[in-house]
Amino acid sequence: MPAFESSQFTPWLLQALCAAFLAILFLQSGLDKVIDWKGNLGWLTGHFAKSPLKGMVPLMLGVITLLELAAGALSGAGLVSLIATGSPALAFFGALLSAVSLVCLFFGQRLAKDYAGAGGLVPYFLLSLAAIYFTRMR
**Does 3 fall in a domain?**
no
So what's the pLDDT on residue 119?
96
In a domain, 48, yes or no: yes
pTM above 0.85, yes or no: yes
Q: For position 80, what pLDDT does the model report? A: 98
Residue 16: inside a domain: yes
Say how many domains are in the chain: 1
Flag whether 50 is in a domain.
yes
Could you tell me the pLDDT band of residue 42, with boundaries at 50, 70 and 90?
very high
Domain holding 91, by residue range, is 9-134
Per-residue model confidence as pLDDT tens digits over 95-115? 999 999 999 999 999 988 899
Burial 95-113 (b: 16+ CB within 10 A, else e): bbbbbebbeebbebbeebe
